Amino acid sequence: MRLRPTEAIHCAALAVLTSLGILLWPRLAEPVAMLAGYAGLALLVGVMVLIAPREDRLPPLATFVVDFYPAAFLPLLFNTLEPLIQALRGGPRDAWLIAADRFLFGVDVTVWAQRLVRPWLSDLLYGFYSTYYFISLTLCLVLWLRNRATARRFVFTLMVVYYVSWTGYFIIPALGPRFAQAAEYTVSLTTTPIARTINDTINNMEKTKFDVFPSGHTMISVAVLIVAWRRARDVFWVLLPIATGLVISTVYCRYHYVIDVIAGMTLAFVTVPIGDGIYDRLMSRTAAAPAAARREPRRAYNAFS
């Protein structure tokens, strides 16, 4: 049975993380629970592997679940990363990123930006920041309603973008300005109920805090805009101001250094075509295999005729 590209990349990710969990077992606080979690996620992917080939016979809701289950799968997997990052890399490397911002701009940008803080602006930009998952889901849904093949290609490419950003977290683990430079801030961003609620919700939901370089929020936002420009130009114009506000919010809200944003933008433009290319190659191989199997009896027959 050949895997769809989406299940194939999830299996590869689970294999890598499980191997890391086994390798780093002595350094992990709860290795058994982590590996059990990966086994559960692998079971979920296995169910999708069995169901996906029957998608033409599934009811619409089941088909929707098969195509959109990564929206639940990814956050669950993401929240397992921090123990592995700490066990493999030790403490954060925020000093590297702070030095990069100072080299490029001559200041600590998030500290300098305190002069721009206004309660209404904090509410607005925290609101933009919270759209991270929703802008990609919006484009996925629009594409799915218009052309499911295009939507599945986009979902796979998003997975590539996510996994590349996660790789960066292992290479340069960092906590971000909100933690590393907390003592330097004299102006609070969370003086209103809206800003405070969004900030607290994000802090409680995200168990992995070593998620700074590159900026995943920027990578996903730019990737969504790239695909929307190509595949759904009308949606691009709707998402453009939201994605722009989201990118700005990553620095204003002190989640990221500017170097993270620059890296995220750059990697998005590199990763999207790579993801699309991998998907097309995998799909062509999947389509070629049944065709070759169907031709095989005819070749055998001709050889002996």
Residue 153 sits in which domain range? 91-288
Residue 200 lies in a domain: yes
- Residues 20 and 135 reside in one and the same domain: no
The 10s digit of each residue's pLDDT in 39-97 is 999 999 999 999 888 877 888 888 899 999 999 999 999 999 999 999 999 889 999 99
pLDDT at 266 over 90: yes
**pLDDT score, position 287:** 61
The 10s digit of each residue's pLDDT in 16-31 is 999 999 999 999 999 9
Residue 298 lies in a domain: no
Q: What is the DSSP letter of 2?
A: P
User: Total structural domains in the chain?
Assistant: 2
Residue 299 lies in a domain: no
- Residues 145 and 195 reside in one and the same domain: yes
CA-wise closest residue to 267 among 169, 132, 178, 179: 169
Q: Give the residue, 53 or 219, on which the prediction is more confident.
A: 219
- Residues 147 and 212 reside in one and the same domain: yes
Q: Is the full-model pTM beyond 0.85?
A: yes
Tokens of 65: 């679940």
- Residues 25 and 139 reside in one and the same domain: no
What separation in angstroms does the CA of 78 have from each of 13, 206, 216?
11, 8, 12
Q: At 155, which amino acid appears?
A: V
- Residues 53 and 179 reside in one and the same domain: no
CA-wise closest residue to 128 among 221, 256, 28, 17: 221
The 10s digit of each residue's pLDDT in 190-210 is 999 999 999 999 999 888 999
Tokens of 253: 């809200």
**pLDDT score, position 288:** 56
Is there a contact between 155 and 70 (Cβ–Cβ < 8 Å)? Answer: yes
**pLDDT score, position 297:** 42
pLDDT at 304 over 60: no
